[in-house]
């Protein structure tokens, strides 16, 4: 029996068998595709949530630096624990956000986040150095002015980095 004769005799059974294999093959690939789509969607949703939390922590940290009572700190009117509570609460939240974003971003994006965090930490270090040098030749006003100059410079640099980070995020979500 030739192949052609076999196909002519059993065409209905071959058609049913092909349809069954086709149906189950389609179901398999649809389920696999749906699973990949759900995983991608969940990853994107978690990424957006992490970015939103980072932006909230960033704005809280900026607000803290803008509203901090520098004169009270430099004049030793606040205790060390009060100062630590004011400064480290938003900084630690920002650190957690940056660590979380390491999961979702790499390379240039991660470098920008690290530079933003390093900028805020350098403001804290500068304030700590000014606080520690209390009683030396500088006056409180000159120390406060130096702090404000340093803070303003870092905040501008961080704003540029944040803008670049946001542009990168928009580019990632466009694709």
User: Is residue 121 within 8 Å of 91, Cβ to Cβ?
Assistant: yes
CATH of 47-174, one of 1.20.1440.210, 3.40.50.720, 3.40.50.2000, 3.20.20.60: 1.20.1440.210
- pTM score: 0.79
Termini Cα distance of the chain: 56
Tens digit of each residue's pLDDT (9 = 90 or more) over 64-109:
999 999 989 888 888 889 999 999 999 999 999 999 999 999 889 9
User: Is residue 113 within 8 Å of 166, Cβ to Cβ?
Assistant: no
Q: How many helices (H) and strands (E) does the chain have?
A: 6, 0
Q: Name the strand (E) or helix (H) holding 172.
A: helix 140-174
Tens digit of each residue's pLDDT (9 = 90 or more) over 109-146:
999 999 999 999 999 999 998 888 765 667 888 889 99
- Residue 13 scores a pLDDT above 80: yes
Average pLDDT over residues 39-51: 88
Q: Mean of the per-residue pLDDT values for the chain? A: 89
| Distance separating alpha carbons of residues 122 and 88, to the nearest angstrom | 13
| Distance separating alpha carbons of residues 134 and 70, to the nearest angstrom | 13
What pLDDT was estimated at residue 134?
Answer: 60
Average pLDDT over residues 160-171: 93
Domain ranges of the chain: 47-174
Q: 112: helix, coil or strand?
A: helix
């Amino acid at each position: 029996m030739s192949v052609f004769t076999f196909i002519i005799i059993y065409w209905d059974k071959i058609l049913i068998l092909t349809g069954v294999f086709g149906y189950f093959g389609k179901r398999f690939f649809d389920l696999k595709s749906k699973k990949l789509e759900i995983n991608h969607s969940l990853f994107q949703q978690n990424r957006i949530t992490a970015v939103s939390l980072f932006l909230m922590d960033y704005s809280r940290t900026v607000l803290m630096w803008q509203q901090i009572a520098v004169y009270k700190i430099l004049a030793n009117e606040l205790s060390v624990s009060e100062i630590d509570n004011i400064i480290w609460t938003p900084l630690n939240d920002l650190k957690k956000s940056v660590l979380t974003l390491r999961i979702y971003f790499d390379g240039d994006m991660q470098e920008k986040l690290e530079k933003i965090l390093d900028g805020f930490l350098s403001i804290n270090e500068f304030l700590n150095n000014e606080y520690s040098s209390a009683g030396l030749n500088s006056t409180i006003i000159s120390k406060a002015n130096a702090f404000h100059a340093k803070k303003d410079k870092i905040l501008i640099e961080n704003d540029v980095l944040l803008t670049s980070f946001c542009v990168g995020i928009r580019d990632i979500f466009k694709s």
